[in-house]
């Protein structure tokens, strides 16, 4: 019996906009599940339907097996942390945290004690008499969490709670949130647009796009075996390099080069003589790992380096190969949006990127050879975008 389960959850607004289309999801007891996707993908809508703040067009929301579609959000025992924190501006921190408890008519002494322990757990003990206006963003965020945890709910919902914080604070708060989650032990549904948060925090991650679930799996699984092009590009930063390619004679034809297919040869059998989309992650391209043997084995990719960015911890080498790029940004370029730029920066035009050791000797204008492990290649059907397995 999962703590939260969504069955074909759908939301269509009265203006006709379909925000969510048949979402199936389950969250186990104590699990931390992340809903991730670009803006407008329906993740917040789904969260709000679980809370009861949004009416359900069709489908079910169930807690512990019981359908709660018709249960008012007041009685669902759900606590939520809002993106803008939604603190009561005229109440102190202590009153904010304890507000729900006053509604439940919990005696004053017990209420104060619970507020104090929640505040202590979040490091807010010294701020109990301040008002939200006097707090920093990070403190407000913690008050919002305190308000949620003091209720000891059975379901914990979080709507992009970290997106209003600056980058450094965000990293700190990630572990805070997980620590709090562990302490409460309630099933948690966490919404974000940041795939880094999703990958680092989630037990399982659901990727949504345009209201449709793309893949629901552990972060490892999403990274190693993305189910479709969207997930492949969305997960992992920097993005996966994608190219139009074809399968011929047991090899992958990538522009003027040929790569060995390795174990994927069998999977790609139906695509012999046809086009596919091939992807390789920037971190799977090794510089200087292409010895004679690799080249002979067809596991080497030659490319012209156009731009090199030095980050200190790594080097990003932007290169060009003579295959056509197939990523979403490349599609936009093909649609003519980036035409004007193409002419200007022809010398710098690139269609791929590699993450290299900071001490690598790469220079712009250089022609290099990357070693590619055929097992690290990803293949997608050009028509459906689904991964070829």
Which parts of this chain interact with another protein (CB under 8 A)?
13-15, 51-53, 55, 72-75, 78-80, 82-84, 86-90, 99-100, 103-104, 147, 151, 209-210, 229-230, 244, 275, 277, 324, 326, 328, 330-331, 334, 380-383, 385
Cβ neighbours of residue 221 closer than 8 Å, sequence gap 6 or more:
none
Q: Are 93 and 38 in contact (CB under 8 A)?
A: no
Q: How far is the CB of 307 from another protein (least distance, A)?
A: 22
| CA atoms of 83 and 158, how far apart (whole Å) | 8
Three-state DSSP class for 221?
helix
Q: How far is the CB of 84 from another protein (least distance, A)?
A: 6
Q: How far is the CB of 383 from another protein (least distance, A)?
A: 6
Nearer to another protein, 86 or 196 (CB): 86
Nearer to another protein, 110 or 357 (CB): 110
Nearer to another protein, 64 or 77 (CB): 77
Per DSSP bridges, beta strands 32-36 and 204-209 are parallel
Torsion of CA 364, 370, 375, 380, to 10 degrees: 40
171, burial (CB in 10 Å: exposed 0-12, middle 13-18, buried 19+): middle
Nearer to another protein, 31 or 160 (CB): 160
Nearer to another protein, 79 or 287 (CB): 79
| CA atoms of 155 and 78, how far apart (whole Å) | 5
Q: How far is the CB of 139 from another protein (least distance, A)?
A: 17
Joined tokens for residue 181: 């989650």
Q: How far is the CB of 195 from another protein (least distance, A)?
A: 17
Cα dist from 282 to 172, 235, 263, whole Å: 27, 13, 21
Nearer to another protein, 308 or 328 (CB): 328
| CA atoms of 38 and 209, how far apart (whole Å) | 7
Q: How far is the CB of 144 from another protein (least distance, A)?
A: 8
């Amino acid at each position: 019996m999962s703590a939260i389960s969504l069955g074909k959850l759908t939301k269509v607004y009265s203006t006709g906009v379909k925000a969510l289309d048949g979402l199936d999801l389950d969250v186990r007891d104590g699990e931390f599940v992340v809903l991730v996707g670009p803006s407008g993908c329906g993740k917040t809508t789904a969260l709000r339907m679980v809370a009861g703040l949004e009416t359900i067009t069709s489908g079910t929301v169930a807690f512990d097996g019981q359908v709660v579609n018709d249960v008012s959000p007041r009685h669902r025992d759900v606590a939520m942390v809002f993106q803008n924190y939604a603190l009561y501006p005229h109440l102190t921190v202590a009153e904010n945290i304890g507000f729900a408890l006053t509604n439940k008519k919990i005696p004053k002494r017990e209420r104060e004690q619970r507020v104090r322990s929640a505040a202590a757990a979040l490091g807010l003990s010294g701020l109990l008499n301040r008002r939200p206006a006097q707090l920093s963003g990070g403190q407000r965020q913690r008050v919002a969490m305190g308000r949620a945890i003091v209720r000891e709910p059975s379901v914990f919902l979080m709507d992009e709670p970290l997106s209003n914080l600056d980058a450094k604070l965000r990293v700190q708060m990630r572990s805070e949130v997980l620590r709090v989650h562990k302490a409460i032990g309630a099933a948690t549904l966490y919404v974000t647009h940041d795939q880094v948060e999703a990958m680092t925090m989630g037990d399982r991650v659901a990727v949504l796009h345009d209201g449709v679930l793309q893949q629901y799996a552990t972060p490892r699984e999403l990274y190693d075996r993305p189910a479709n092009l969207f997930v492949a590009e969305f997960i992992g930063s920097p993005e996966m390099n994608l190219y139009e390619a074809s399968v011929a004679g047991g090899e992958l034809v990538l522009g003027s080069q040929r790569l060995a297919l390795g174990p994927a040869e069998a999977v790609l059998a139906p695509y012999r003589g046809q086009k596919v989309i091939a992807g390789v992650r920037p971190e799977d391209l090794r510089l200087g790992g292409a010895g004679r043997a690799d080249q002979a084995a067809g596991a080497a990719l030659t490319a012209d380096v156009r731009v090199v960015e030095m980050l200190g911890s790594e080097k990003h080498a932007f290169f060009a190969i003579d295959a056509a790029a197939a990523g979403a940004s490349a599609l936009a370029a093909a649609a003519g949006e980036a035409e004007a730029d193409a002419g200007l920066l022809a010398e710098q035009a690139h269609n791929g990127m590699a993450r290299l050791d900071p001490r690598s000797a790469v220079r712009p204008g250089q022609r290099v050879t990357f070693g590619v492990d055929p097992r690290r290649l990803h293949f997608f059907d050009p028509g459906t975008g689904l991964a070829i397995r």
